[in-house]
Amino acid sequence: MSEIPLVTELRSRFGEGIIDVNLEAIDEWVEVTPDVLVGVCEFLKEAEGFRFDMCNSITVVDYLHTDPKKAAKVDWEPHMEVVYHLSSIATKMTLVLKVKIPRWKNGVEGELPGVPSVSGVWSTADWHEREAYDLSGVNFLGHPQLKRILCPDDWEGHPLRKDYEQPLEYHGIRGR
């Protein structure tokens, strides 16, 4: 319930930038466009009464059915969602932000999609975005040092994409 003034505030400031709001979900979420993302984050961090001073987690969820039969049954087009879990130590509120992006930049397979980096807002985002880039293959534009963090630097592909195929071998080590 406490999120409702927040939503009206966000809508009045960012207008078209706020695409969707779901207050019925288990964790209330707000979907924004990539263009306003950094602005929304800066506002949420500084705004009196909300003060989302902690960014708990940044995750990417890949929506794609590799099986055409299953893909025909679902009501969504293949896309990716970048999910930001925010909380506040000052006011003890929590909020989920979502940004929907295409699976590939301009629809060209192999070109990673981009989303603005929020590492300038919360320093935690630095490592979380590196992890999301490493495992899910999303470019965080404006990140100071976007490189792999968990996989080796010369690893190919992004394992948490649904169409990822495990390599047959890596430096002479058999994969499967």
Partner 1 sequence: MATSKIDDPRVIEFDVRTDEMLINMGPQHPSTHGVLRLVLRTDGEVVSDVEPHLGYLHRCAEKIGENLTARQWVPYTDRMDYLAAMNMNLGWSLVIEKMLDHDLPERARHLRVIISEMGRIASHLVAMGTYGLDLGSFTPFLYGFREREKILNLFEEACGARLTYSYLTPGGATADLPAGWTDKCLQFLAEFKEVIPELHTLLTTNTIFVSRTAGIGVMPARMAIDYGCTGPVLRGSGVYHDLRFHGEERYTEMYDGYVFDVICADPETGLYPESNYEFHGDSLDYPEIPRQAVLGDCWHRFYVRMLEVVQSVRLVEQAIEKYEATSGDWGTPIKLTQKLPAKEAYMETEAPRGQMGFYVVGNGDAIPWRVRARSSSFCNLSVTAPLCQGILLADIPAIVGSLDVVMGEIDR
In the complex, minimum distance from the CB of residue 71 to partner 1, in angstroms, rounded to a whole number: 12
Size of the site for partner 1 (CB under 8 A): 32
User: Which 93-122 positions form the footprint of partner 1 (CB under 8 A)?
Assistant: 94, 96, 122
Rounded to a whole number of angstroms, the minimum distance from the CB of residue 12 to partner 1 is: 27
Give the separation between CA 85 and CA 72, rounded to whole angstroms: 31
b or e along 1-14 (b: 16 or more beta carbons within 10 Å of the residue's beta carbon)? eebeebeeebeeeb
Helix, strand, or coil (residue 130): helix
38 binds partner 1 (CB under 8 A): no
Site residues for partner 1, window 44-63 (CB under 8 A)? 53-57, 59, 61-62
Neighbours of 91 (CB within 10 A): 14
Nearer to partner 1, 131 or 139 (CB): 131
Torsion of CA 13, 32, 50, 123, to 10 degrees: -120
> For binding to partner 1 (CB under 8 A), which residues are involved?
25-27, 53-57, 59, 61-62, 83, 85, 87, 89, 92, 94, 96, 122-124, 126-127, 131, 135, 148-152, 159-160
